[in-house]
Amino acid sequence: MLNKKEVSVMHCVYNACKRNNDGCIVSDAFVLQSIPEKFKLDETKLDAILKQLEYDGYFECTKSERKGETVNVITLKPKGKAFKRELIQRRRELVNNFFWRMVFAAVGAVVGFAVSLLLRGLG
């Protein structure tokens, strides 16, 4: 399961790759600019996150030089292509889990109320 920083970086990479037939060339500056301000990543943390995502099988990433700046040549793997679907499934699981917890909490409250009424009536 990815953490929030990894999800934001993967979201940026996924969008860039989907615009260019499942592959793209992006600079670190582009990725840092595209992620939300609340994560405040620097280039070393970004490189670490890109390596982690690569090890997890989301994409293949190669560092290269273009016009004096370092760029990432990224090609999505099947797991990376299914990233959006994975997010949707995770959200669906969270909603489903929350719903069932609320149902069981309500049932527990009703049973507790019934037991307390029953014990009050017997005593």
| C-beta atoms surrounding 81 within 10 Å | 15
Distances (CA, A) of 23 to 43, 53, 62, 88, 98: 21, 15, 12, 22, 37
13-71 pLDDT tens trace? 999 999 988 999 999 889 999 898 888 888 899 999 999 999 999 999 999 888 888 89
Distance, CA of 94 to CA of 43 (rounded, Å) = 32
Question: By three-state DSSP, how is residue 108 classified?
Answer: helix
Q: pTM for this one?
A: 0.77
Nearest to 1 by CA among 121, 117, 91, 75: 91
